[in-house]
Amino acid sequence: MKAVILAAGAGRRMYPLTQETHKCLLPVGDATLVDRMLEGLLQVGVSEVLLLTGYRHDQLHAHLGESYKGMRLVYVFNERFEDTNNVVSLLRALQGHQLGDEFLLLEADLIFDFSVLRRAVDSPASEVAILAPFKSGMDGTVAELRDGWVHDIIPPERQQRDGVTRYKTVNIYKFSQAFAYGPLLQMLAYYTERFEENCYYEKILGMLIYAGQLRLKGEVLDDEAWAELDDPHDVVRAQAIFDGQRLLNQLEYNFGGLWNFPVVDFNFIRNIYFPPEAMVEEIRQKLPELMHNYGSRQAVLDRKMATFLRCPEEPLILLNGASQSYPILAEYYAGRKILIPSPTFGEYSRVFPDADSFRDHPDEPSDLTSRLGSYALVVLVNPNNPTGTLWPTQTLWNWIVEHPEVDFLVDESFIDFSDQGSLTSFLREKPVENLIVLKSLGKSLGVPGLRMGYLYTHKQALHDYFKSRLPIWNQNSLAEFFLETGLKHRDALQRSFVATREERQRMGTLLAATAGITRVWPSAANFFLVEIGSEVDLEAMLRHMLRLSGIYVKDISSKVGCRALRIAVRTTPDNDLFLDCWKKCYPLAARPTTSAGRA
């Protein structure tokens, strides 16, 4: 079998990476794209490859030479690569060379599991397109399938949201000699001569399907890994996909942006049951207008947040995420004596580096109550992250009232997933000045990307201090509209909290019965802290789970003083995927044990 690799383009979208280097010579892991591709072709029995070159031809030729591990390499130079597209390169391959009974066609900017090629080679159909389920963030040409056959190939300019299920073309094809040197060659020659030379060959395939001259089988990938490298961000994603440890490192470094990676996120915590699809659709329809408009000023935002929360406006300050408060709080309480939980959300130890701490552990009695009066500020996270432990709201209120000389900062980001109410309800009855309620709304509303949170306090000096440090446009129009449309979906929000609690109970029971998990801490939030047995190689486990099912979960051993993971509560299918993946990976990650008396 032979193969054709289209590699003439300059890869301008990859600049600056391709200013001095051909795109397919970019390294991913320990090999270049083209070396990985040739290795895959060797594995499926390809003995000769035509490389359609143009940009940096000499560089590519110098790298590969005339052969690759016994595979013959033939170079076809498209001297007009700068003003034509791959439709011309493919035409030249067919006009000047015989490719045998069948051949594979690939584009040079691909990286894939070698099993992807096997799907094309082993398909009984004579004409085959490798396709992948379409996911958000993909661009380029897509295909519509009917009964497993490609009904239409749709370039970006013809794509629209119409409810039709479509698949991304992976840009790997298998063609027979009869089709390639018959309808395909004829249409390539006719179209490039009469109409244009600056288009993609898939446009020609779409025409041939429409004309009834091509019956193209769609082989849809399952969990085989692949990536197309169009811009520098794609290189980062590809590096991550094909190197489990590198992916873990990249995810930890990015601290977000997970839409760029093939993961199921059990690390970052948010309400997976909200917003409902009806609310998402309202936002989707309004999105063009929202993108072209500024958000309102702070006073208007505070009023809209108060309406959404059904609370008084005066004590409330809408924040661009709860994290906006941390540097302001650090300034305000600088030089004062502060007490924080340990372990807890890492930002508190970062913004209060000199703070004392009290131990938050379900098995250890706390000396917190005897220490409260010794501090200017006491930070409480209720429920706490990552432990999931919960103080009764009434207990906290009693402490606050009993210690009017102490300021209490209570982070209630996860309170909606517990059976306790917010301290703000007490403040409405008795507006004390030593309580500051902070909340990250991304957790409860399921939209951390919108960056919403609030501060609620009657401490006027602190309230004014915050207001003086906020810009006039402190929130984006999308978040503002979310608050407006959310008024109609309060019932759905409450149902989402109930669904999370029910799924938390189910998942906790299953986790406790899972090999390798020695303990599940009781949780009042939408996550679990679980202790892991000493026989489990945690780094290997996380790497295997990421590779097998895209499971991304956080190792928090360094924070809690034991071998532990924090696992978000997601939907039932996602949680079942996690448990199933764990069971499959456990034998791979379990360290061998030695029996007594053995060397």
pLDDT (tens digit per residue) in 75-100: 999 888 888 888 899 999 999 898 88
The domain in which residue 536 lies consists of 243-271+493-589
Angle in degrees, 0-180, between the axes of helices 572-589 and 490-512, rounded to the nearest 10: 30
What integer is the mean pLDDT of 164-187?
91
Looking at residue 597, what is its pLDDT? 33
Burial of residue 149 (CB within 10 Å: 0-12, 13-18, 19+) is middle
Examine the domain organization and report whether 167 and 207 are in the same domain: yes
Residue 171, Cβ neighbours under 10 Å: how many?
22
Alpha-carbon distance 446 to 456, whole Å?
21
H/E stretch holding 394 reads helix 393-402
Q: 3-state SS of 297-318?
A: CHHHHHHHHHHHHCCCCCCEEE
Kindly report the average pLDDT of the chain as a whole number: 90
pLDDT-derived band of residue 159, with 50, 70 and 90 as boundaries?
low
Chosen domain end from 449, 475, 501: 475
Does 594 score more than 70 pLDDT?
no
Does 339 score more than 90 pLDDT?
yes
Examine the domain organization and report whether 75 and 182 are in the same domain: yes
Examine the domain organization and report whether 250 and 264 are in the same domain: yes
Looking at residue 593, what is its pLDDT? 57
Looking at residue 266, what is its pLDDT? 94
pLDDT-derived band of residue 270, with 50, 70 and 90 as boundaries?
very high
pTM above threshold 0.75: no
Name the residue with higher pLDDT: 387 or 198.
387
Alpha-carbon distance 547 to 552, whole Å?
10
pLDDT-derived band of residue 157, with 50, 70 and 90 as boundaries?
low
pLDDT (tens digit per residue) in 539-583: 999 988 887 888 999 899 999 989 999 999 999 999 999 999 999
What integer is the mean pLDDT of 466-494?
93
Q: Out of 28-37, 286-295, 399-408, 505-514, which region has the weakest mean confidence (pLDDT)? A: 28-37
Looking at residue 262, what is its pLDDT? 73
Looking at residue 599, what is its pLDDT? 29
User: Which of 228-237, 257-266, 341-350 ranks highest by mean pLDDT?
Assistant: 341-350
* Ordered DSSP codes for 343-374: S--HHHHHHSTT-EEEE--TTS---HHHHGGG
Does residue 279 lie within any of the structural domains?
Answer: no
pLDDT (tens digit per residue) in 106-141: 999 998 888 999 999 999 999 999 999 876 556 678
Does residue 378 lie within any of the structural domains?
Answer: yes
Looking at residue 136, what is its pLDDT? 56
Does 183 score more than 60 pLDDT?
yes
Examine the domain organization and report whether 380 and 301 are in the same domain: yes
Does 598 score more than 50 pLDDT?
no
Total number of domains in the chain = 3
Does residue 175 lie within any of the structural domains?
Answer: yes
Alpha-carbon distance 463 to 314, whole Å?
9
Give the pair of three-digit tokens for residue 313: 């406006």
CATH number at residue 143: 3.90.550.10
pLDDT-derived band of residue 229, with 50, 70 and 90 as boundaries?
confident
Looking at residue 244, what is its pLDDT? 61
What integer is the mean pLDDT of 266-293?
94
CATH number at residue 386: 3.40.640.10
Q: Out of 64-73, 240-249, 259-268, 435-444, which region has the weakest mean confidence (pLDDT)? A: 240-249
Does residue 450 lie within any of the structural domains?
Answer: yes
Picking from 207, 202, 188, the residue whose alpha carbon sits closest to that of residue 88 is 188
What integer is the mean pLDDT of 285-305?
94
Q: 3-state SS of 464-517?
A: HHHHCCCCCCCCCHHHHHHHHHHHHHHHHHHHHHHHHHHHHHHHHHHHHCCCCE
Does residue 276 lie within any of the structural domains?
Answer: no
What integer is the mean pLDDT of 2-11?
91
Examine the domain organization and report whether 89 and 76 are in the same domain: yes
